[in-house]
Amino acid sequence: MDVPWAIRLIALAMCAVILQRMFGARRGKTYFIRRIPGIDAIEESVGRATEMGRPVLFSPGTAGLDNMQTLAGLAVLGWIARRCVRMMVRIIVPIFEPVVLPAAADIVRDAYRAEGREEEFDPDDVRFLSKDQNAYAAGVIGILIREKVAAGFYFGPFGFESLLIAETGRRVGAIQVAATADFFQIPFFICACDYTLIGEELYAASAYLTREPVQVGTLAGQDLAKLILILLLVLGAIGAALWPGALNPLEGLLGR
């Protein structure tokens, strides 16, 4: 199907806005990112685990590295791992996809290295459980119960296992923070977790915590692009309502 040139022009304009923000962030320009309550709870949860002398669990979800949610979750893992190492808290990372295992292990190892404690890194704390969702859920539940986890972080894509894991974490008394863009699982996390980041807040969290210029610039560019699209829709709706015949010449440009 041939895409109308007007739609292509709008898409190019949106890409230009995002790229402009990305390059601006790389040059050192700062962009405001709204503070999310769940982000404040992350450091509080790690501090609570320190006081209790119990470990923290982080799950990057049940997808591979081709999923943007997994990449956003791994970015958050790096930040949380450094906080855990700094506060001398053990962090356990159960993995669903084998391809994610080396990436997660490197991130945790780098956190120990950055804090000058690389020799304390235990490779068994980043462990592959299973590619079966039921088995993975059972494995995470077992860790939550056996290790008496003080805080659980679930950042990434999840399926039906979200409620099984989060409900178990609630029963063991862990503070839980979840973030996913899988809207079918969001209600389960809201019910069972203390804090839930909804949809695009997952990507905002990784940008806010890491302050990585590309992520911050992309987020700021996307927000501006969405604002422009909303304004165009509102103006188009008002124009169609007040002057029904005035927009007829545009139908050809938009392929109608």
Report whether pLDDT(5) > 80.
Answer: no
Residues of 207-238 as b/e, b for ≥16 C-beta within 10 angstroms? bbbbeebebbbbbbbbbbbeeeeeeeeeeeee
Q: For residue 235, what pLDDT is reported?
A: 82
- Placement of tokens 């990372």 in the chain: 93
Domains of the chain (ranges, CATH numbers): 5-30+223-253 (no CATH), 37-210 (3.40.50)
Is it the case that residue 254 has pLDDT exceeding 60? no
* Model pTM score: 0.80
The confidence score (pLDDT) of residue 158 equals 94
Q: Does pLDDT of 242 surpass 90?
A: no
Whether residue 161 contacts residue 134, with contact meaning beta carbons closer than 8 Å, is answered with yes
* pLDDT of residue 99 exceeding 90: yes
Alpha-carbon distance 176 to 19, whole Å? Answer: 35
- Check pLDDT > 70 for residue 67: yes
Q: What is the pLDDT of residues 177-223, one digit of tens each?
A: 999 988 889 999 999 999 998 887 787 777 777 777 777 777 777 77
What is the average pLDDT across 110-135?
92
Contacts of 56 (CB under 8 A, 6+ apart): 45, 46, 49, 80, 84, 89, 90, 91, 92, 149, 150, 151, 152, 153
